[in-house]
Structure 1
């Protein structure tokens, strides 16, 4: 996992939810912003992957943003935001392994057919006959 926290910028705002009068006075909600194009930690290929996989989280100016307002303190929200954005980018860069198509073996085919035959016979025996 690459630590690009030096490239992150933060904005605070008033949070909704629990906190009583604290909600009306203190800006506890934290929005973390990261300009992907200006990153020095990732190659152009990695930046393209991030843009493609996280396009719904990237605004028109090219900022990846994430807002956290889970806790009642700004510092805790900031640390959670950093953790989450690092995790999101890390997951986006994971390239899934290609699936190799395989054919069922002869014994697997035979087992499947035998099971079908047994079930068919069982149901046939249930029929009422005169």
Structure 2
């Protein structure tokens, strides 16, 4: 089990890792070894995630989320498969932790009367300034 928060843990069996050729650092190794990690996590079918976290995670994942609701994380920053594997898992955990924090509801407030008065006074001042810019009126 991978512990995400105090209440959320996902089973390692829910993660699907495949190794692909990396485009990152590695010299000639990059042509011979598959060091990049492609981590897949099925958000929609995960029994470990509460519904609220699931929906927030889908929004946060952005373009990493497929049509089927699978998050795909590609890690190729490092030269070794093991470090890339750790990096991919850390990024997934960070994403789920971010989704686990519920967004505080917006509290609707009224605009204070003093702000409305300040805005009106400023508009009147600007109007007067602009009206003074007109040229003299000529009567023929």
**TM-score (norm. length: structure 1):** 0.75
Q: Within the alignment, does 1:49 sit opposite 2:41 as a pair? A: no
| 5+ residue gaps, structure 1 | none
- Cα distance change on mapping 1:59 and 1:74 into 2, 3 Å: farther
Please list, as runs of the form range in 1=range in 2, the aligned pairs for 1:82-121 lying within 5 A after superposition: 82-121=89-128
The structure 1 segments of at least 4 consecutive aligned residues displaced by more than 4 Å after TM superposition are none
Q: Are the counterparts in 1 of residues 39 and 73 from structure 2 also a CA contact under 8 Å?
A: yes
Q: Within the alignment, does 1:77 sit opposite 2:107 as a pair? A: no
Q: Within the alignment, does 1:29 sit opposite 2:36 as a pair? A: yes
Q: CA deviation at 1:84?
A: 0.7
Cα distance between partner residues in 2 of 1:99 and 1:68: 36
Q: CA deviation at 1:127?
A: 2.3
Count of residue correspondences:
127
CA-based RMSD: 2.8
Instruction: Indicate which of 12, 15, 22 corresponds to 1:6.
Output: 12
Q: CA deviation at 1:5?
A: 6.7
| 5+ residue gaps, structure 2 | none
